[in-house]
């Protein structure tokens, strides 16, 4: 018996992860009925798809003119999320779309109305939100096991070269696409968006995320882009917790995601690498690399597991929901993801982007970095009162 009929929209870039699931014959409860991509040569599994007899269409209208799908898995550039989600809904497909939901907050209500009219679900693929580790933590927070949230902070330092900023067809690092559509491609809305949103996600009710209030932002750029590639974003949440997100691309060393969430009764830590201990960013009793770990004030510890364990789990969750005829928001639906879009719009519309001082910029092969930024970002994570604005040209 055939499973959920799936169309993959965007099979290059991150989309190749979903293609691989089908190529590796892991999707026993799904049937791949088509793929959509105007530039399919970018897919590393193109030959496999051809052998499987999967037809590739240049656009979604072409696919829907001769086929149907119960689930559309969308992995396309940010500025195409809204039109692609709307097209899928109009043609009777449920949707799981890669993060973020959209760039323009004005599109949220448009998508919401289309979802309600179609009576389908729209899930957004912040993969941590589909992990057992994060949802286990979220449930314990909701059950009051940690008491009141006090302070949450996240750090991501990811060097990116010129090829990264040259990716796509003129949308990488942009505020707007060539057609005028908002993109807001940045370290906070793309590469490290998962980790910013996670603070909102775990503090929201089931299927929801917390609103960002009293937002403040320091936005800088080193690379020759329109938007920012360095950010320090601070905000409050309705629960009273203060949150801070520090992320940068123009650094000469990497710190993969690390976070510290402090509550009345204990603190939750996550680090993907041992390097973060060497940088004195974690307590001595944290040693479960890659796992979310709670260390309570009484010394007890709970290990929630690795939030990165299965990056494609979200497709399986969406497929099952489609098969069951569900239309609710699931664990990370439209209105949960909307909170991240609202936050990004607040910082983009209210804070200036400063160029990093030219005399601090250094080149290392294809990488451009700001001398001292790595160390300053570390210091700012340890002491949230510290600023990154000393790197800005005033």
Domain ranges of the chain: 4-126+312-333, 129-309+340-391
Res 275: pLDDT: 67
Cis peptide before 100 (omega within 30 of 0): yes
Q: Which two tokens stand for residue 112?
A: 């919401």
d(CA 367, CA 384) in angstroms, rounded, equals: 27
Q: What number is the average pLDDT over the span 151-179?
A: 90
The alpha carbon torsion through 338, 240, 216, 131 (nearest 10 deg) reads -40
Cβ atoms of 60 and 35 closer than 8 Å:
no
Q: What number is the average pLDDT over the span 5-11?
A: 98
Q: Which range has the worst mean pLDDT, 15-29, 166-180, 232-246? A: 166-180
How do residues 305-347 score in pLDDT, each as one tens digit? 999 888 899 999 999 999 999 999 899 999 999 999 999 999 9
Q: Which CATH architecture has domain 4-126+312-333?
A: 3-Layer(aba) Sandwich (3.40)
Selecting from 1.20.1370.20, 3.40.50.800, 3.30.360.10, 3.40.50.2000, what CATH number does the domain 129-309+340-391 have?
Answer: 3.30.360.10
User: Residue 277 pLDDT > 70, yes or no?
Assistant: no
Q: What number is the average pLDDT over the span 150-160?
A: 97
Chain mean pLDDT for the chain: 95
Q: What number is the average pLDDT over the span 372-386?
A: 97
pTM of structure: 0.96
Query: For residues 273 and 204, which has the higher predicted lDDT (pLDDT)?
Result: 204
User: Residue 166 pLDDT > 90, yes or no?
Assistant: no
Distance of CA 225 to the CA centre of its chain: 20
User: Residue 110 pLDDT > 60, yes or no?
Assistant: yes
Res 200: pLDDT: 98
User: Residue 300 pLDDT > 70, yes or no?
Assistant: yes
Res 383: pLDDT: 97
User: Residue 273 pLDDT > 80, yes or no?
Assistant: no
User: Residue 1 pLDDT > 60, yes or no?
Assistant: no
User: Residue 35 pLDDT > 80, yes or no?
Assistant: yes
d(CA 74, CA 57) in angstroms, rounded, equals: 14
Name the packing angle between helices 106-118 and 81-90 (round to 10°).
20
Q: Which range has the worst mean pLDDT, 187-201, 224-238, 274-288, 290-304? A: 274-288
% of the chain exceeding 90 in pLDDT: 87
How do residues 120-130 score in pLDDT, each as one tens digit? 999 999 999 99
Binned at pLDDT 50, 70 and 90, residue 33 comes out as: very high
Res 28: pLDDT: 87
Domain 4-126+312-333 shares a fold with domain 129-309+340-391: no
């Amino acid at each position: 018996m055939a499973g959920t009929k799936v169309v993959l929209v965007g099979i290059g870039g991150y989309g190749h992860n979903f293609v691989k699931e089908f190529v590796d014959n892991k999707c026993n409860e799904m049937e791949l009925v088509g793929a959509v991509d105007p530039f399919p040569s970018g897919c590393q599994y193109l030959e496999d798809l051809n052998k499987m007899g999967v037809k590739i269409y240049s656009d979604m209208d072409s696919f829907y003119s001769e086929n149907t799908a119960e689930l559309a898995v969308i992995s396309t550039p940010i500025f195409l999320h809204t039109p692609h989600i709307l097209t899928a809904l109009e043609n009777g497909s449920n949707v799981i779309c890669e993060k973020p939901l959209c760039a323009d907050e004005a599109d949220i209500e448009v998508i919401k109305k289309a979802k309600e009219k179609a009576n389908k679900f729209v899930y957004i693929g912040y993969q941590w939100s589909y992990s057992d580790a994060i949802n286990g933590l979220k449930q314990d927070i909701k059950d009051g096991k940690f008491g009141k949230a006090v302070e949450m902070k996240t750090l991501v330092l990811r060097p990116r070269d010129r090829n990264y900023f040259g990716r796509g067809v003129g949308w990488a690092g942009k505020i707007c696409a060539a057609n005028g559509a908002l993109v807001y491609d940045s370290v906070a809305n793309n590469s490290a968006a998962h980790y910013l949103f996670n603070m909102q996600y775990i503090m929201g009710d089931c299927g929801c995320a917390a609103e960002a209030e009293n937002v403040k932002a320091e936005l800088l750029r080193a690379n020759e882009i329109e938007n920012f590639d360095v950010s320090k974003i601070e905000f409050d949440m309705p629960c009273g917790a203060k949150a801070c997100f520090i992320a940068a691309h123009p650094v000469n060393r990497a710190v993969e995601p690390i976070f510290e969430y402090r509550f009345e009764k204990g603190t939750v830590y996550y680090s993907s690498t041992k390097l973060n201990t060497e940088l004195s960013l974690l307590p001595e009793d944290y040693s479960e690399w890659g796992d979310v770990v709670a260390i309570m004030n009484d010394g007890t510890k709970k290990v929630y597991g690795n939030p990165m364990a299965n990056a494609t789990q979200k497709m399986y969750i969406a497929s099952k929901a489609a098969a069951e005829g569900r239309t609710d928001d699931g664990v990370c639906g439209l209105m949960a993801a909307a909170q991240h879009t609202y936050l990004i719009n607040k910082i983009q519309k209210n804070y200036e982007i400063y160029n990093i001082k030219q005399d601090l910029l250094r080149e290392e092969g294809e990488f451009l970095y700001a001398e001292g930024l790595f160390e300053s970002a570390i210091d700012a994570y340890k002491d949230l009162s510290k600023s990154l604005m000393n790197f800005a040209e005033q």
